[in-house]
Amino acid sequence: MITAEPCPRCHGIVVDEPTQDELLCINCGWRPRLVPPDVQREVDIHRGEPSIGRAHKHLPRGKPSLSWSERARRRKERLSETG
């Protein structure tokens, strides 16, 4: 069944699909977003705060690479042990 309100995105025809139990725009495929109230409340509480991913993005990972002098020293140690 065609609804009276047009699509908010493209102003196309919005159809109420009885088999899918939701509204659907014929032109662009828009569907209304249904966000549960508890999820929306959490989003509103944390809005504007820095995310954890950005705060910890540049942490060093693993051991730092060896300097050329340390690599040369270890190579000499390995060669002296085997030879």
Closest by Cα among 30, 23, 27, 41 to 8: 30
pLDDT in tens, 13-71: 889 877 777 888 888 988 888 889 999 999 898 888 776 665 566 666 788 888 999 99
Domain residue ranges in the chain: 1-33
CB distance 61 to 43 below 8 Å: no
Nearest to 27 by CA among 57, 42, 4, 7: 7
* Position with higher pLDDT, 52 vs 4: 4
Name the more confident of 6 and 49.
6
